[in-house]
């Protein structure tokens, strides 16, 4: 399997639930990212991992907790979310952080918080 794979594609969760989003890349990339896309808003960077080390936390609330156990996998752990957290969550990877080759994105997880 190639590219960036995100699971699940769709997720509905209550505000008291705990769930995790998973991202996997088999491209040999060294940097991985979580982005949030809300309706009628630009893509917002949430977290950056470079060589498995978190290098960026873009003022994201603590109810979102990333985990990068190895260079191929990235998780986003969710707990006690709010309805305004409903959005498309996109994972991406790149060979070099901030390079000219751009990012490879997954198809995203459409999250609905009820």
Partner 1 sequence: DQQVKQNSPSLSVQEGRISILNCDYTNSMFDYFLWYKKYPAEGPTFLISISSIKDKNEDGRFTVFLNKSAKHLSLHIVPSQPGDSAVYFCAATDTNAGKSTFGDGTTLTVKP
- Figure out which of the listed residues 55, 57, 82, 112 binds partner 1, where binding follows CB under 8 A: 55
Q: What does the DSSP assignment read for 34-46? A: EEEE-TTS--EEE
Stretch that binds partner 1, among 13-21, 60-68, 73-81, 94-102 (CB under 8 A): 94-102
Token look-up 């996109």 returns 90
User: Could you say whether residue 28 binds partner 1 (CB under 8 A)?
Assistant: no
Please classify residue 6 by burial: count the beta carbons closer than 10 Å to its beta carbon, then call 0-12 exposed, 13-18 middle and 19+ buried: buried
Site for partner 1, rule CB under 8 A: 4, 6, 35, 40-43, 45, 48, 50, 55-56, 90, 92, 97-108
């Amino acid at each position: 399997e190639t590219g960036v794979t995100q699971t699940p594609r769709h997720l509905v969760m209550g505000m008291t639930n705990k769930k995790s989003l998973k991202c996997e890349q088999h491209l040999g990339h060294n940097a991985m990212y979580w982005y949030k896309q809300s309706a009628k808003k630009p893509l917002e960077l949430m977290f950056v991992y470079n060589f498995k080390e978190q290098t960026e936390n873009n003022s994201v609330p603590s109810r979102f907790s990333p985990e990068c156990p190895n260079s191929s996998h990235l998780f986003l752990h969710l707990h006690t979310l709010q309805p305004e957290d409903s959005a498309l969550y996109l994972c991406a990877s790149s060979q070099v952080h901030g390079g000219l080759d751009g990012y490879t994105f997954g198809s995203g997880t459409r999250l609905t918080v009820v």
